[in-house]
A and B are shown apart, each in its own frame.
Chain A
């Protein structure tokens, strides 16, 4: 049984399905990249996996002892957070709430876990700084530390490098790869297909010609090669 299993899933909103017949699975230790064009349903799929949105058909099944709400989640930054007065410590600690069902305050273990994750992502010097004063890369690290407080087992990253400069982007990918090596299952939603084929071991391409399988297989399909080349040339065009 996989950690996460979707079989013939239909997702979308009340007014219509966006994706139909979606099947994929995530095993412990996988690094799955979900790629696809804008509007192909990446965010909808993410919301469905997280349980924020009910699937129209089928279900997202959890296995290997993983329960619903045990996914650490790195969201895209929202406008609210841009001027939110909160210290790094407060933000990271709030990730521990997932484990507190009724008790209203944080325990010693919570604080220890938050401190450990802050250390792990190398943001100890920022601990008392205000979240809104940090650079984009630093903010991402803070949110990643928060996600790790919520779970040690599986992380879902929504466009983790959007808005970051190339140097920080590379750093971010290394951090994620490091967590993956430590045994954390990674699901990354990205439009950066180059990074996806480089770091991930499985690809889920959603859109008109869906694909799910190993990266090597993806690169042998016509659609996969096309998409990677398209992306490359588009990126070069930008630069």
Chain B
């Protein structure tokens, strides 16, 4: 145990570890914000679909040889998010079907590209890293940290400003629309925030595990909290704490466990705990 803390202490001396912690916390904070909305609008899987799109875009960016991959990944993901959320409303293709369609295609396309135009000797390691968020969080440049931090702050601000509208659109879209709220606009804002969060979160947990970051905290909080505000606050709390615990575990454990899966497992444990608490609470009340 002391070895564990010693290791963490030693690692904290490195600036890149401190960056990783800051970015990790910020990403966790953002990603949990919209979880409740996505779960309740039955869009849980959209995070997954978009992350595959982001993976495909990343492969393209790598092949083209861009140094700042976000330049391609961000716009592609944002556009896909808008298209996917739109199809949810009046679609010929039902929401979940179009998500499945786009996500597997992007995944296959990305992997294919990476194999046809390999950018390094070890393609499988590259792919694995992108999918499960290898060590990229520890290799962020100062610029990337600033970009991450900036986008996180903007995301939180946008969410706070539109919080009441997002609530209305989530709770009862028809009522909101009938009373003159521009629901399309707010759905679009939700879509854009989700896309930004996903691109950011790829750094932390990799593209396969992003859904967990969005869904777990929201689901856990929904078991226990009663109001939308308390669920939102509780979800961000859970997300930040579990991300920190996951990051520290990944740093402190001598085996060198990967960051992404560790965070997700910690979140799953947190979800089980909250589920249990909610279950007991229900029993006590009845």
Contacts and interface: CB of A to CB of B under 8 A. Distances in A.
Interface of A: 50-52, 68-69, 71-73, 75, 78, 80-81, 83-87, 89-91, 94-95, 97-98, 100, 104-106, 128-130, 133, 146-147, 150-151
19 contacts: A50-B174, A52-B174, A69-B179, A71-B179, A80-B172, A85-B221, A85-B222, A85-B231, A87-B226, A94-B168, A94-B176, A97-B176, A100-B164, A104-B163, A104-B164, A128-B227, A130-B227, A133-B226, A150-B179
Interface residues of B, number: 31
Contacts of A129: 226
Contacts of B179: 69, 71-73, 95, 97-98, 150-151
A237 B163 CA distance: 49
Interface in B219-264: 221-222, 225-231
The 8 closest A-B pairs by CB, nearest first: A69-B180, A98-B179, A130-B226, A87-B227, A50-B178, A86-B228, A150-B179, A94-B168
A75 B161 contact: no
Contacts of A89: 227
Given A95-B175, A95-B179, A150-B175, 17 more contacts: A69-B179, A73-B178, A81-B172, A84-B170, A84-B171, A85-B221, A85-B225, A85-B226, A85-B230, A90-B167, A94-B164, A104-B163, A104-B164, A105-B164, A106-B164, A130-B226, A147-B175
Contacts of A105: 164
Interface stretch (B35-43, B48-56, B68-76, B194-202): B35-43
A98 B171 contact: no
A53 to B, nearest CB: 10
A69 B229 CA distance: 27
A33 B175 CA distance: 20
Nearest to B161: A104
A69 B227 contact: no
A94 B170 CA distance: 11
Contact of B171 (A72, A81, A147): A81
B86 interface: no
B165 interface: yes
Nearest to A14: B90
B253 to A, nearest CB: 35
Interface in B147-185: 161-165, 167-168, 170-172, 174-181
A80 B179 CA distance: 19
Interface string B116-128: 0000000000000
Contacts of A51: 177-178
B170 to A, nearest CB: 8
Contacts of A85: 36, 221-222, 225-228, 230-231
Contacts of A106: 164
